Amino acid sequence: MAPSASHHVAGNAGEVKLDYMEDRDAKAQDTIYTTASGAPVPHPYEAQRAGEN
């Protein structure tokens, strides 16, 4: 069975669950974007910005 947003695996220490309202209201500064392996990456819009950062 493929994982889904509502599927919960007990004992998975790396799992962070937010409900829809918490996720929707989260600020961009509070969000960490990661690759599939968990390595942090810059915000997609920040990475596309031209000029001095």
Answer with the residue of higher pLDDT: 3 or 34: 34
In 1-53, alpha helices (H)? 20-25, 44-48
24-36 pLDDT per residue, tens: 887 877 778 888 8
Whether the model pTM is above 0.85: no
For every residue of 1-53, DSSP letters joined together read ----TT---TT-TT-----HHHHHH--GGG--EE-TTS-EE--HHHHH--S--
